[in-house]
Amino acid sequence: RYDPASPTRTPSCPFSSPRKCRLWYWRSAATQRLRERFRGSIRSGSHAHILHEIPLSSSLAASELADDEVEALLADPEVASIEANCVVRLDPRELMSERTVYDDATWGIDRIDSRTGTDGSYDDSGSTGAGTRIYILDTGVYIGHNDLGGRAVGGWSDGCQSGTETGCGSTWGYQGVVGNGCGDHGTHCASTAAGSEYGVAKGATIVAVQVLSCLGSGSFAGVLAGIDWAVRNCSLDRESDPNLRCVLSMSLGGPGTYSPFTSAIDAALVDDVITVAAAGNDNSDACDFNPANVPKAVTVGATTSSDGLSSFSNYGSCVDILAPGSSITAACISSSPAHNCTKSGTSMACPHVTGVVAQLWSFGRDSGWSGSQIVDALTCFATRGAIGLSGPAALATPNLLLYNRFDNLVYNGDECLLSPSPPPVPSPPSSPPAPGSSCEAATSFGDAPSNPFSLDIPSTAIGVGPDNYVGSLCPNSAFTGTGSVYWLKLNDVRPGVALDLTACGFDTDLSIFRGSCDSLEQVACDGDSLDDEGSCSVSYGSLIDTVLPEAGVQYYIVLGGFNGDTGTATLTGTYAASSSPSPPPSPSPSPSPGPGPSPPPGEPLPICNGCNFAAGEYWNGVTCGTLEELLPPRICTACDYPTEVWNGQACVLLSDYVSPPASAGQADSL
């Protein structure tokens, strides 16, 4: 670069240029006026002429400028600076090919879809890069190769722009399209980025931009002109396809810092065109090479299949991300359109990243991400700490390995997040449970205000019995509580009135429980008692005659069969005489009053609860009745009948109970 403080006023390159060529930069867009000033600044007979006009970096490239012509141009106030147009050459190692295809030939794309290693397959996360355009700035592309799947097209060539230049067909291809006899560096990179078999983004479009000859050399001016053409081409086509997204892949570079690259790559990113660049193969600090040292380029170092840094790879703080670069197999050029070869270099790592950028563009298309956000997402998703770094490389190189399984991640434009799990597929609505199949689905029994009341049960092969069945409570039964049963819910609860339950139809077993479905208490059960009384038209019917329902308690009836038998049955309920239906019980039982102190013997007690004590009625805590009607003995309201009775306030011994005067008659309840 030209340095005013230097004794030498002539810009120079780290190595000689093929032509005495200079890049000069202006401060305005008045290119026509600058062309006129250029002509006015060169002496008569000069061979200097303009090679490129590069608006993206505000520069012109002119050849064969003598030193005094450089001085004349620098005196122009609209000329900002003058740079040497240096040579770009590929690493000779990348021009050579290992012609053996290994079993793990595609280990590179296999590695980037995993956090931990390879598994012999490649997962593209459902993002193929479709709708994205990859510009391969390189030695040209053999677009007819099978691996490029008909998705590669010609673009631009620095040495064969019109098709009539001297180098066309030998070292340069028109529109960057090359064939057998040309170096296959660019074709290999294109295949790695987007090849059908060897590539990352298998649905992206590839555009050939030849900025290096078939021999692998070119100039800074040619590379800048290629960047300019690609960015303008992408912008132009966005007018008809606003969703088009583009990325430049630049597996090239040279020593030193070169501000024109910074200007061009920065301007490209402003237009949402991302540049991916190789870090270089000098086992040195990437910050000493360009365009690797351009801050807004994505600079890529190379790794091995054993997760180490490739021995040749540049490193340091200018590296943004690492990707597979050693022994990478992809498409190459020969007489066969299916030929492949294996190469090593950061040039091979670079297109891996280019492909993932294309995938991210495609993946985030609906999110409206900018080019800068795509670059952030690329490093955000990367696998951290996977590569073994040592020596100088360990000091400043970001240990970030390329990763493309972002289908389970979310980038919100600011940070990486795990994506929420997809909602479960809703199960089809379940059929309602069959009546009688469980406690919760128990069939109502005793809905009509009649006595007796009955229900015909077509089959007991409906549900299963309760878990807390107590067989010892059941006389004449071999029922175990398991097997098929039918559930019923007693709706007609007449507190304090004895209830008989009978079941006829087959060898039945009958049980009754109290409480709620989640907390049942077995009250009574029976196997074959009804048969003994001869009241059933078939043998082995069941009878329960020891139930005295309580107010506020829910009762459930379970009808099963001997040893798991099933069949058709009729269930009948009969309350004792002089009883009437009661409303269904409340959801939770009301607490009964506890026993109070017995009154002194011989003291008259009040008439209460509507019982006609003069007529020999007593109160058992839930109803009025004679002692006979209150039998069989039950503990109700803590009274032990018939020894004790309830006087409306407490349990007292029957011998201590004094009937009130007969004249009181039947009094109102207190």
pLDDT digit string, tens, across residues 27-57: 555 556 666 666 666 656 666 666 666 766 6
pLDDT at 480: 66
Mean pLDDT (whole number) for 491-519: 89
d(CA 97, CA 329): 9
Predicted confidence at residue 171, as pLDDT, reads 94
CA distance 543 to 535: 10
Look at 606 and 543; give whichever has higher pLDDT. 543
User: What pLDDT, on the 0 to 100 scale, is given for residue 528?
Assistant: 78
For 521-588, the DSSP string reads EEEEEESSHHHHHT-SSSSS-EEEEEE---TT--EEEEEEEGGG----EEEEEEEPSS----PPPPSS
Look at strands 443-445 and 484-490 and give their pairing. Answer: parallel
The structure's pTM equals: 0.59
Cα dist from 512 to 472, 530, 632, whole Å: 14, 16, 18
Looking at per-residue pLDDT, the higher value among 577 and 544 belongs to 544
* pLDDT the model gives residue 365: 73
Query: Are the CB atoms for 642 and 630 separated by under 8 Å?
Result: yes
Considering only the top CATH level, what class is 21-84?
alpha beta
Residue ranges of the chain that CATH labels 3.30.70: 21-84
- Point out the residues that are catalytic: 138, 185, 347
The number of helices, as runs of H, and strands, as runs of E, in the chain is: 12, 37
pLDDT of residue 667: 32
How many whole angstroms separate alpha carbon 9 and alpha carbon 42?
A: 17
Q: For a pLDDT cut of 70, what percent of the chain falls above it?
A: 70
Q: Which of 71-75, 457-461, 547-551, 636-640 has the highest mean pLDDT?
A: 457-461
Most confident residue range from 59-63, 345-349, 548-552 = 345-349
- Give the best-scoring range by mean pLDDT among 40-49, 72-81, 358-367: 358-367
User: Which range has highest mean pLDDT (198-212, 466-480, 551-565, 571-585)?
Assistant: 198-212
Which regions of the chain carry the CATH code 3.40.50.200? 128-418
Q: Which pLDDT does position 605 carry in this prediction?
A: 40
Give the whole-angstrom CA distance, residue 300 versus residue 212. 20
Residue 429's pLDDT band, with cuts at 50, 70 and 90, is confident
Q: 127-162, pLDDT tens digit by residue?
A: 899 999 999 999 999 999 999 989 999 999 999 999
- Residue 423: pLDDT band (50, 70, 90) is low
Which pLDDT belongs to residue 342? Answer: 93
Q: Which of 93-97, 324-328, 544-548, 645-649 has the highest mean pLDDT?
A: 324-328
pLDDT-derived band at 631, boundaries 50, 70, 90:
low
If you average pLDDT over every residue of the chain, what do you get? 79
Residue 104 has pLDDT above 50, yes or no: no
User: What burial letters (b/e) apply to 78-98, b meaning 16+ CB within 10 Å?
Assistant: ebebbbbbbbbbbbeebbebe
Chain region(s) in the chain for CATH 2.60.120: 439-575
> Residue type at 287?
C
CATH fit for domain 439-575, picks 2.30.30, 2.60.40, 3.40.30, 2.60.120: 2.60.120
Q: Which two tokens stand for residue 342?
A: 């294996």
Class assignment of domain 128-418? alpha beta
The pLDDT, as a whole number, for residue 416 is 67
- The per-residue pLDDT for 658 is 53
At residue 479, the pLDDT reads 67
Nearest one of 125, 131, 130, 155 to 143, comparing CA atoms? 155
Residue 639 CA to residue 656 CA, distance in Å, equals: 14
- 15 pLDDT above the threshold of 60: no
Reported as a single tens digit per residue, the pLDDT across 367-410 is 778 899 899 889 988 999 999 999 888 889 999 999 998 766 66
pLDDT of res. 276: 98
More confident residue, 658 or 64: 64
Q: Are 350 and 327 in contact (CB under 8 A)?
A: no
Strand-pair partners of 141: 177
User: What is the distance between the alpha carbons of residues 615 and 625, in angstroms, rounded to a whole number?
Assistant: 10
What pLDDT is recorded for position 34?
64
Centre a 10 Å sphere on the Cβ of residue 657 and count the other Cβ atoms it contains: 17
Rounded distance, CA 585 to CA 57, Å? 90
